[in-house]
Amino acid sequence: MHKNLKKIGIEMKLTTKGRYAVLALTDLALERDEDFVKISHIAMRQNISSTYLEQILLKLKRAGLIVGVRGPNGGYKLASEPEKIMIADIINIVEGKMEAKGCVSKSGSCTGVSGRCMTHDLWDELSRHIELFLGQISLRDIIKGNVLGRSSPPRAFDY
Amino acid sequence: MHKNLKKIGIEMKLTTKGRYAVLALTDLALERDEDFVKISHIAMRQNISSTYLEQILLKLKRAGLIVGVRGPNGGYKLASEPEKIMIADIINIVEGKMEAKGCVSKSGSCTGVSGRCMTHDLWDELSRHIELFLGQISLRDIIKGNVLGRSSPPRAFDY
DNA sequence: TAGTTCTTGACAAAAATACTCGGAAAATAT
DNA sequence: ATATTTTCCGAGTATTTTTGTCAAGAACTA
C-alpha cells in the first residue's frame, strides 16, 4: 500500500554536490589565465575531497561545461566565458535535473482519490521560480559579487 | 581531513514530508465545514501512510497551525483561516527551518584558504527568494487554484 | 620510458529520510 | 465504569541518498 506516491518528487535538489560544483567552477573562473587547473588545486583551495570532486567535474565535462586534459600540465578549464555559464546549468547537471513535477505518479495522472492534488501547480511554479532565478546568474556575476538585490521574475504590477 | 566544511548547508529542504504537510493542510482547508477531520481520512484521501502523517500533523499542531482533539469524533482542524496560513510556514515547521547560510563553517567565518567563498551571497539570495515566494501563497490560494502566474512581489489585493 | 593527471566504474560508509510500532492519554458513548 | 475511538509520544527500523573511497586504465608530457 501507498507505494505509488513515493519518490516522485519535486527534487529541486541542492546538496553539497551542487555547491561544490558551483564553488569549483567559480574557482576555475577566477583562475582563467592559467591554462589548466588541477583537481587537486581546486580541492585544496575550496576544501573539498579531491576524489569526490573528480566525479563532479567529470559530469560537468561530459556536459560540455568544462574541458579536461590529461597528463602533466593537464587539468580543467572552463569551456566558455564565465558570463555564459549560468548557475542553473551547473546545478542541473550535477544534481540531475530540477524536475518540476510534484505529483505525477507512475500510474499516470496526478490525482488522489477524488481528483485532488491541488498542490501540483504550487510545486510546478516553485521549480520554475528557482530555475528562473538561478538561470539568471552567471559565474561572472559571482566572481564580481554581482548577486545581491537581484529580483527574479519580472514583476507584473507595481503598487 | 576535510571534515570541517561539511554539513553546513543551505538546507532549503523540500522532501515528501513538506509535500505531505501541504497536502494534508490543503485537505483540511477543503473540509473546513466538518468539525474535525481524522488522520486516517486524510491519509486515505491523499494516499499517505497514516502513521507517518501522524508525526507530521503533530509538529504542525505543536506549532499552532492546527488543533487536534482526541477521542471519537476527534481529529484535526485548521487553527485559523486558510488565507492566513502560508506555505512557507508549513514547510518551515515540518522540515525544520530553511536555513540561509551557505558557507559558515563551525570555525567561524566563511572563507576558503584565500578569503574565498564567493558563493555565499548566491545561496543566501536563493533562500530568500524561495522563502519570499512560498511566504506569499496561502492555503486558500491553493484550493482556489490561485497559484499560477504569480510574480514575486506581493500583488495588490482584489476581490 | 617514467611520471603525471584525468577517466571510469564499482564499491562502502555515513547521514538523512521515510516509515513502523507499542503503548499512553483523552474524549465519548453505552 | 468500561469499552472504544482517536490523538499523542518516544523509540526503533528500513530504505534511500549523499558522500565519499579504491583500483585500474588511458592519455599526455618530458
CB within 8 Å: B122 and A22: yes
User: Which positions ≥6 away from B27 have C-beta within 8 Å?
Assistant: A116, B37, B42, B45, B46
Q: Taking CA atoms, what residue in A is nearest to B8?
A: A16
Mark the nucleotides of strand D covered by protein, meaning any atom under 7 Å from a CB.
4-11, 16-22, 25-30
Residue A50 near residue B40 (C-beta atoms within 8 A): no
Distance CA A70, CA A46 (A): 21
What type of residue sits at position A147? V
Q: Which fold has domain B11-159?
A: Arc Repressor Mutant, subunit A (1.10.10)
Cell numbers linked to B48: 499517505
CB within 8 Å: A26 and B143: no
Which positions in chain A touch B138 (Cβ < 8 Å)? none
Interval B35-75: pLDDT, tens? 899 999 999 999 999 999 999 999 999 999 999 999 999 99
Distance CA A76, CA B71 (A): 65
Which positions in chain A touch B116 (Cβ < 8 Å)? 26-27, 45-46
Q: Which fold has domain A12-151?
A: Arc Repressor Mutant, subunit A (1.10.10)
Residue A67 near residue A79 (C-beta atoms within 8 A): yes
Interval A66-82: pLDDT, tens? 999 999 999 999 999 99
Mean pLDDT confidence for B82-91: 96
Interval B88-147: pLDDT, tens? 999 999 997 644 344 444 333 454 443 346 788 888 888 888 889 999 999 999 999 988
CB within 8 Å: B134 and A150: no
Q: How far is the CA of B54 from the C1' of D13 (A)?
A: 17
Residue A11 near residue A126 (C-beta atoms within 8 A): no
Whether B79 shows a pLDDT value over 50: the answer reads yes
Mark residues 91-130 of chain A whose C-beta is closer than 7 A to nucleic acid strand C.
none
Kindly write down the DSSP assignment for every residue of chain A, as one continuous string.
Answer: ---SSSS--------HHHHHHHHHHHHHHHT-SSS-B-HHHHHHHHT--HHHHHHHHHHHHHTTSEEEE-STT-EEEESS-GGG-BHHHHHHHHHT-----SS--TTSS---TTS--TTHHHHHHHHHHHHHHHTS-BHHHHHTT--TT---SPPS---
